[in-house]
Amino acid sequence: MLQAKPIILKKIKQKKITDEQAAVLGKKLLTEGNPIVDELEILGLNFENSKRKTVYKKVLRAYRVFEDLVIYYGTTTLIDWSKKQGFKSFNEIITGIPSKSNRNSWINLGGQLMPETELATLKNKINTNKIKSWDEVHDFYETMGNKYPEQKFQHALAALSERIGKPIKKITVPELNALLDSVVRTKEWMAKGIYDSKAKDFANPYRQMVYDSPEEMDAVVGKLADNSFINEQVNALAKFKKNIAAFKKQIK
């Protein structure tokens, strides 16, 4: 997962503070959902090769969405992992979870995601002649590809643990059920967003103006209700809910 630049709050209530103090205070305001966040000028650094300010908008809403997505990422990864392991109960899942997990910085290296620590290892091996050819570089990539599922699992658990404020091994059944309810809501939000986006396209007057009537438009581009991508998402949502319900029964 790529890390965003720190949020820098340059001034709070006319009192100048350091960047470190601003980061701590900013996290507190975001975590508490304090509406003052939307009144602040919050700047992004190094996003543009320009002298103009890059200003974040709708920060509080975006932060809440990001929190939900972290839960979605970590929880769905945990579910997929437990199924792959063949666990049949909550106790088996908790016992099988590693005691420690790592959330390192990752980098997109030519289309392949890997921890930055692995990139440092690759550079070091090249500089010390332990890797001397492109074939060996490709072998390194292949090795990293094989490690990816486990590294992603570790990263997802660490991110989820950080979000809920406790080790995953110490989670309770009610807490896990709450996470499962959260991922269903997030999946529903995703599906609704896809539908609303498509509906907006169909309602666009500039798109409609090239047709003599709505009936002609439907005949050419198809009806919104018949859109294959939307229907795929509806079916995927139904299947997702079914799988979550089955997982809930499994962990009782």
**Residues 154-200: tens digit of each pLDDT:** 999 999 999 999 999 999 999 999 999 999 999 999 999 988 888 88
Report whether pLDDT(91) > 90: yes
Alpha helices by DSSP H, listed for the chain, are 19-32, 59-85, 90-96, 116-127, 134-164, 173-203, 205-208, 214-221, 228-250
In a domain, 2, yes or no: no
Q: How far apart are CA 160 and CA 182, in angstroms?
A: 13
Report whether pLDDT(243) > 90: yes
Instruction: Specify the pTM.
Output: 0.81
In a domain, 28, yes or no: yes
Q: How far apart are CA 122 and CA 117, in angstroms?
A: 9
Are 41 and 73 in the same domain? no
Q: How confident is the model at residue 5 (pLDDT cuts 50, 70, 90)?
A: very low
In a domain, 1, yes or no: no
Question: What local confidence, expressed as pLDDT, does residue 10 receive?
Answer: 47
Question: What local confidence, expressed as pLDDT, does residue 159 receive?
Answer: 94
Are 99 and 158 in the same domain? yes
**Domain coverage including residue 226:** 173-250
In a domain, 52, yes or no: yes
Are 48 and 76 in the same domain? no
- Of 170, 203, 235, the one marking the end of a domain is 170
